[in-house]
Structure 1
Amino acid sequence: MANSTFQRPLAAQPRQSKLFRYIAIVLLVLIILVCLAVLITWLVIKPRRIVYTVEKASIQHYNLTKNNLNATFEFSIAASNPSSKFSIYYDSIKASVKNMKYFETSKTTIASEVVDPFFQPHRNVTTLDLKLLAQNMPLSGSDYKDIEHEKTSGEIEIKVSLDAREE
């Protein structure tokens, strides 16, 4: 009795497996070369984080009226670029102030300012003098109560954030 099952030619199977093996080896070599290039670049440049430090802070003209806040927040912030290899050009920086009591749960920004673009050379400390104004800033009932409580206690906790765009 004749066997009715169809068998593929034996030469076709090794060609396909050799082709897949060749493609896998080429991809693996490319991945290794890219990783080595990234590692070598990182070792040559040795990038370091930019450090921002609040040097001075003050609040002027702090006035809390029924559901409105008026205040002037003044900050002197030092931006330190410790890298010896590259400089930074800031397209823009948005500085904002939020009350510590509710900044995590609320998106309410008390005051904000956009800083003009500037260039920071390598191994340089640039000082940003910021003046953020809150003029008739409307507050919700709970936000108003929190800020009023802070005002009567004499301690105001705020969060200053810098959203910077670098090139």
Structure 2
Amino acid sequence: MGEHALDLHATFRDHHDFVWRSLAQFGLASTEIDDALQDVFVIAYRRRADFDGRTAVRGWLYGIARNVALKHRERTARGLARTAPVEAAAAAASDDAVDLELARQEAAVLVERFLAVLDLDQRTVFVLAEIEGHSAPEIAAMVGSNLNTVYSRLRLARRRFARVLELRSEDARTGWDR
């Protein structure tokens, strides 16, 4: 394993949430994420000797998660049953809390639908920048892309998202619901 041997318990503890969110953002159904998460860490365990420390552990896991998500999505596309995520509405003590929860759920659905129509490269960059809060240089290192390519993908995704929000606002003014 060499000098860059991974402490897999610490790796799991430190990166579990990040990998879980990444798998969700790659479009896996909530019913698939736990299995995919296990696959990511099993693969990391099997390939731990391949980790040479030249990249961050998070970036290495991200690459594994991306490949695992692609394989899970391919299986789904071939016809395996996929259960849509169902979220129960939170019990609210007041009308304001109910309205706030509904607005949050609508926003989440809007973002999920937007991410679903982006190609994988734009979705990856958008999620890492806008949701995970990574800088463009960090993203370039994580996904192995040229920095200018990352900036371009992010600019295009942001422009598309702004257009989605603009259309949504127009729909709200006219009473049209997509």
TM-score interval (norm. to shorter) = under 0.3
TM-score scaled by length of structure 1: 0.22
TM-score scaled by length of structure 2: 0.21
Q: Who wins on radius of gyration, i.e. which is larger?
A: 1
